[in-house]
Structure 1
């Protein structure tokens, strides 16, 4: 982090309001103002003013981090509290609020949501095997699907060139613990025994959705976007140049190597569920707001999605994985997140349920993977800025 950013951050941390006022940093203040009388009204007005000041401070810290970043940045950033924008920032040639981006692995949250909606509809059982849905009799309108339960087949680990490992379940695919390999190949490890990030596993979940819903994955995404009024969300196929000709709001992806040049990314059916969906930052933020407000699935399914099912190794310490979401609870601050990287695009999303605070960051410039710490340096800075402020807010409320 540059000295100017560090200086700004330290200044923000030193100029703290009173413990009483800091507790209102992200709280709705209209009800408090209405209930205040006499001398109390002065206190409440002071608290509200301090809250607004601290919100502005968080915004300025993020803006400074992006402005002073030693690496190039092109993209769109939105910070929201209770679904309302606090900061909307765009930077880069041709980038506007309506610009759309390939979301990379943020697509997995959409796929996981569609899977859980199918569970709520009785079409899927998360403990059922992958092979049952891909190769068995799996009718989408049958709410009592029957089949071999994972692990009960005595020859489950026998290699079959026309089937995946018989022990793999939908739960394991969602949590990247399946160890699945290409059809006919031996599993990479015993299903459920460890975590290994798998784009292929999420591609298979897309195939499962196509089987039970009798529609292409792209069609399902289009219906999902229409149903929930997510106008900037879509699933497109082809080269970025071809898609841009059809969707002019798509920001053309740029890849940093020796020089910065347009990426050669091609979106196909296999990539869509794992990383190929397209959205604008406000649209993805609207999806995230609906998701965490409990409007996209049952309470039971949302609980499954946000449960820490397995520990993972990641750039950020003490991370776990749910269904399409990374989970961290360091210092008592619950954080749901994900990041993404494809040739020409990078992304990050953060959600803090205690404060109902969200950040969505979509970029059309992917940095050179020769230095992974540099690639995600700005993501790390922004995450730490937000976490530091929220932890201070929690401490002042003790």
Structure 2
């Protein structure tokens, strides 16, 4: 009897160990792979912050390089970056919160909310189309590039998300900056701001590589619409964001499911990852029997990545303030893509080990 009892709990603790420490047994190997990548001698070194967490707890972090290249000021964990299109999931949450309150309908034409727009497509384009980049809008004063809802935009659209921010201003009666501020306060994100909110104190300088190989300081990294690509944040706050969003603290289950589901037709040939499926404000990858939710971000002088793996509750956050070869995104996102491969491989091994442990339990 005692032997059966001990065996049962021995198996239980093995399962618990594997599930809670996905980076456990080969942690040193996992760290060394990333360290070797970012510490290799090259003319284009990594300059940024990497944070990997599980269940909200940091499993790996690395800070390399400078917040100010001219002054050689070392980066710090509380430094803030312009997060590019990672901003879109924040906007999507604000839209869906308005939807949950009954202030807007996802499939209603946007003319209902923005009657001042005069183009005929305002009677056809819906909030859903804006959220999924399937509207075809190329400019506010021009016809759509294709039949609304028939395909993903030829070029990734920031205009749609700017319109979404204007819609939530109408439905909420608050500025988009105020809506954002209240959301960040609710999450406990003390280092994340709408760019019009000048409270950010630790924004690093962003640099872009010129054709001659020299780096120049981007004096205006806020050229994209805030709702589409200009929020300011840091690695710690993005980790907090992931925990709040995934734990159901920001959206009810029905709205969260809509946001994180592959939307019909919202498929893009992505320059980094190939065929890519979109939900609302995020990409959704289910390859290798593993769900990956999140987004990359690009702004003048800044390259970012924020992905979440719900099966293991793992966050991967990478923020960099040097844009190498801005005309070749594969090279621009080199470090991000390689680190993502390392993390995915580790999680695949973890999932396989967990499956083997479960099978062993069943056989026993």
Instruction: State the TM-score bracket (shorter-chain normalisation).
Output: 0.7 to 0.9
Deviations 1:321-365 (A, max 9, x none): 000110111121111121111111110011111111111111111
Partner of 1:194: 151
Indicate the residue corresponding to 1:62 in structure 2.
Answer: 34
User: What are the equivalent positions in structure 2 for 1:67-82 lying under 5 Å apart?
Assistant: 67-68=39-40, 70=42, 71-82=44-55
Provide TM-score, normalisation by structure 2: 0.84
What SS class does the counterpart of residue 26 from structure 2 fall into? Answer: helix
1:247 pairs, out of 191, 195, 200, with 200
Query: Aligned-residue CA RMSD in angstroms?
Result: 2.6
Using a 3 Å threshold, how does the CA distance of structure 1 residues 338 and 42 change in structure 2: closer, same or farther? closer
1:165 is displaced (CA, Å) by: 3.5
- Structure 1 gap segments, 5+ residues each: 1-34, 137-159
Q: Which moved more, 1:80-89 or 1:367-376?
A: 367-376
Q: Is there any run of 5+ residues in structure 2 with no aligned partner, and where?
A: 67-73, 357-364
Using the size of structure 1 for normalisation, the TM-score is 0.78
Contact 1:165-1:186 within 8 A present in 2 as well = no
3-state SS, counterpart of residue 392 of structure 1: helix
Tell me the equivalent position of 1:285: 239
Residue among 99, 102, 112 paired with 1:119: 99
Q: How far did residue 64 of structure 1 move?
A: 2.3
Describe the superposition over 1:300-331 as per-residue Cα deviations: whole angstroms up to 9, x where unpaired: 01100011112221121342000011011112
Alpha carbons 2:258, 2:280 under 8 Å: kept: yes
Q: Is this contact kept in 1: 2:293–2:308, CA < 8 A?
A: yes
* Cross-structure match for 1:226: 185
Is residue 111–residue 206 contact of structure 1 (8 Å, CA) maintained in 2?
yes
Q: Quick check: 384-393 or 354-363, which moved more?
A: 384-393
- The residue that corresponds to 2:267 in the other structure is 311
**Helix, strand or coil at the partner of 1:77:** strand
Q: 1:173 to 1:67 in 2, by over 3 A?
A: same
**SS of the residue aligned with 2:274?**
coil
The change in CA–CA distance for 1:132 and 1:113 in structure 2 (over 3 A counts) is: same
Q: CA deviation at 1:287?
A: 0.5
Runs of 4+ in 1 over 6 A off after TM superposition: none
Which residue is equivalent to 2:82?
102
Following TM superposition, by how much is the alpha carbon of 1:46 offset from its aligned partner in structure 2, in angstroms?
11
Pair 392,168 (structure 1): closer, same or farther in 2 beyond 3 Å: same
- Displacement of 1:199: 0.7
Q: Distance in 2 between matches of 1:165 and 1:42?
A: 60
2:65 corresponds to which of 71, 92, 95:
92
